[in-house]
C-alpha cells in the first residue's frame, strides 16, 4: 500500500508538504502543489482515513439510531426511506454512517452505549422514532456527549437539534379536508402510542379542529397498531361520521374493518406510505417525505458538528389522496 511517505519521496518534498497539498492548506505554492498531485495520481495514492482520523482526532462517522422491529407489521418502509436519505446525503457530505437499531442498545446503560459509540469514533447520532420509554437514549441526549439530531421529538440543547413536520397543523389540515369533503359532525380519532412524541401533537391538531368546527370528537388509542385500529373501528365507527387515524397503517386497519362491517365511513391517515397504494381504496393522508427529512437531519447534524448550536427544524408537509395509479407511476 502506497503511503504519504512514498509520495513525499517520489516528489522530493517533505511528508508534511504532501499532507498540506492533500488538505488544501494555503501555504504551499502552485508549483509544488501540481508536482505533488502528479505523483499522487501516478502512484495511485489513496489516503488512509483511519490514520488521518487517529492523528487529527476527527472522524466523519455518524450513527443512525433506528427504532426498528421487523415484527411490527409492515411499517419498516419508513425506516428504509430514512436510511436511504441519510446514506445519500452522507456520501455528499463525505461522512460515513453506521446503522444501529435501538433494540441493540436498549439493555445497555448509558456508559456502555457512550463507550460503544466513542470507541467507534462516532461524533454524531441521528435518532429516529424516539419514544418516552427509551430511557437510555434520553440519557444519551441529556449527556450532550454527542452531537445529536432527533427526528420527530421535541428535543433541543446545545448539541441537540430536532426535526419534524408540524404535526399539529398537519393533523388539523388532513382532518379538516376529510371532514369538509364529507360534511362530518362526529369524528372518531384513533390516536398513536401514548409513548410516541408525535401522538400528543397530532391529538392537539384534531382537538383544535373539532373545537373550531364544533364537532363531536371521540378519541381511542390505536397504539400505531393496524390490528388495534381495526378493533376500535369495529367497536365505535358505526355511530360516527368518519375515522381519522394518526397513521396510515392504522387507517388501513380501520378501512379493512369498515369493509368487513360493510358500512362506509371516510377514513384519513397520516404518513403517506407506499403501502397505502396497495390496499385497494384511496384516502386522504399527510404525505411526509421521509427521505427528505433524513437528508435534512444529516445536514443539521453536520451543522452541529461544525459547532453551531442546536435548534428546531420544521419541514413542510403536503396533503395527498393516495391512489394505486399514482404510486406505481
Partner DNA sequence: ATTGGCCTGGAAAGCGTTTTCCAAGCATAG
Partner DNA sequence: CTATGCTTGGAAAACGCTTTCCAGGCCAAT
Report the residue number, 71 or 119, with the smaller CB distance to DNA: 119
Q: Minimum CB separation from its own copies for residue 119, in Å?
A: 5
User: Which parts of this chain interact with its own copies (CB under 8 A)?
Assistant: 1, 44, 46-51, 53-54, 59, 68, 70-71, 73-74, 76-77, 79-81, 83-84, 87-88, 91, 96-101, 104, 111, 115, 118-121, 226-227, 252, 256, 274-275, 277-280, 291, 324, 327-329
Q: Which residues contact 71 (CB under 8 A, 6 or more apart)?
A: none
Alpha helices in the chain (DSSP H): 4-11, 15-22, 30-43, 49-56, 76-92, 102-105, 110-119, 135-143, 167-182, 197-213, 226-236, 248-261, 290-305, 324-327
DSSP calls for 4-65 = HHHHHHHHTS-HHHHHHHHTT-SSS-HHHHHHHHHHHHHHT----HHHHHHHHS---EEEEE
Per-residue cell: 11:
516528489
223 binds DNA (CB under 7 A): no
Q: Is 102 left (phi over 0), alpha (psi -120 to 50) or beta?
A: alpha
31 binds DNA (CB under 7 A): yes
Query: Rounded to 5 degrees, what angle do the CA atoms 185, 188, 189 make?
Result: 125
Among 34, 38, 42, 51, binds DNA (CB under 7 A): 51
48 binds DNA (CB under 7 A): yes
Q: Minimum CB separation from DNA for residue 26, in Å?
A: 7
Among 34, 38, 42, 54, binds DNA (CB under 7 A): 54
Among 10, 19, 62, 248, binds DNA (CB under 7 A): 19
Residue 307 binds which entry of its own copies, DNA, none, CB below 5-8 Å type-dependent: none
Among 12, 280, 309, 316, binds DNA (CB under 7 A): 12
Report the residue number, 74 or 263, with the smaller CB distance to its own copies: 74
157 binds DNA (CB under 7 A): no
Q: What are phi and psi of 57, to 5 degrees?
A: 60, 20
Report the residue number, 79 or 199, with the smaller CB distance to its own copies: 79
Q: Which residues contact 30 (CB under 8 A, 6 or more apart)?
A: none
206 binds DNA (CB under 7 A): no
The sign one gets for the Cα dihedral 311, 298, 105, 67 is positive
Among 43, 47, 88, 227, binds DNA (CB under 7 A): 47
What Cα–Cα distance (Å) separates residue 48 from each residue in 39, 61, 124? Answer: 17, 15, 21
Residue 16 binds which entry of DNA, its own copies, none, CB below 5-8 Å type-dependent: DNA
Nearest to 271 by CA among 136, 129, 105, 145: 129
Residue 58 binds which entry of its own copies, DNA, none, CB below 5-8 Å type-dependent: DNA
Size of the site for DNA (CB under 7 A): 31
Residue 14 binds which entry of its own copies, DNA, none, CB below 5-8 Å type-dependent: DNA
Residue 239: CA count within 13 A, CB half-sphere: 6
Residues that bind DNA (CB under 7 A): 1, 3-5, 12-17, 19-20, 22-23, 26-29, 31-32, 45-48, 51-52, 54-58
Amino acid at each position: 500500500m502506497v503511503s504519504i511517505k512514498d509520495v513525499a519521496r517520489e516528489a522530493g518534498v517533505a511528508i508534511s508538504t504532501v499532507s498540506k497539498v492533500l488538505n488544501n492548506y494555503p501555504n504551499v505554492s502552485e508549483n509544488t502543489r501540481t508536482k505533488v498531485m502528479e505523483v499522487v495520481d501516478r502512484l495511485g495514492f489513496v489516503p488512509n482515513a483511519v490514520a488521518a482520523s487517529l492523528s487529527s482526532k476527527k472522524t466523519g462517522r455518524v450513527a443512525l439510531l433506528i427504532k426498528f422491529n421487523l415484527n411490527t407489521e409492515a411499517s419498516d418502509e419508513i425506516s428504509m426511506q430514512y436510511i436511504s436519505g441519510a446514506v445519500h446525503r452522507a456520501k455528499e457530505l463525505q461522512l460515513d454512517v453506521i446503522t444501529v437499531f435501538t433494540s441493540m442498545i436498549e439493555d445497555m446503560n448509558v456508559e456502555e452505549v457512550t463507550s460503544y459509540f466513542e470507541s467507534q469514533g462516532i461524533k454524531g447520532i441521528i435518532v429516529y422514532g424516539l419514544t418516552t420509554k427509551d430511557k437510555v437514549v434520553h440519557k444519551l441526549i441529556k449527556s450532550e456527549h454527542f452531537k445529536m439530531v432527533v427526528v420527530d421529538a421535541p428535543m433541543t440543547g446545545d448539541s441537540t437539534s430536532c426535526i419534524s413536520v408540524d404535526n399539529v397543523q398537519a393533523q388539523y389540515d388532513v382532518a379538516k379536508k376529510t371532514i369538509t369533503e364529507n360534511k362530518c359532525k362526529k369524528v372518531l380519532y384513533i390516536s398513536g402510542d401514548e409513548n410516541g412524541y408525535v401522538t400528543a401533537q397530532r391529538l392537539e391538531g384534531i382537538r383544535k379542529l373539532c373545537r373550531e368546527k364544533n364537532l363531536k370528537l371521540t378519541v381511542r388509542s390505536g397504539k400505531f397498531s393496524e390490528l388495534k385500529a381495526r378493533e376500535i373501528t369495529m367497536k365505535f365507527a358505526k355511530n360516527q361520521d368518519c375515522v381519522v387515524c394518526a397513521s396510515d397503517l392504522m387507517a388501513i386497519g380501520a378501512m379493512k374493518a369498515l369493509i368487513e362491517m360493510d358500512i362506509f365511513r371516510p377514513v384519513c391517515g397520516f404518513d403517506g406510505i407506499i403501502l397505502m397504494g396497495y390496499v385497494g381504496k384511496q384516502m386522504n393522508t399527510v404525505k411526509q417525505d421521509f427521505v427528505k427529512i433524513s437528508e435534512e437531519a444529516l445536514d443539521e447534524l453536520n451543522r452541529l458538528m461544525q459547532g453551531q448550536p442546536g435548534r428546531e427544524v420544521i419541514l413542510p408537509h403536503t396533503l395527498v389522496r393516495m391512489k394505486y395509479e399514482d404510486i406505481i407511476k
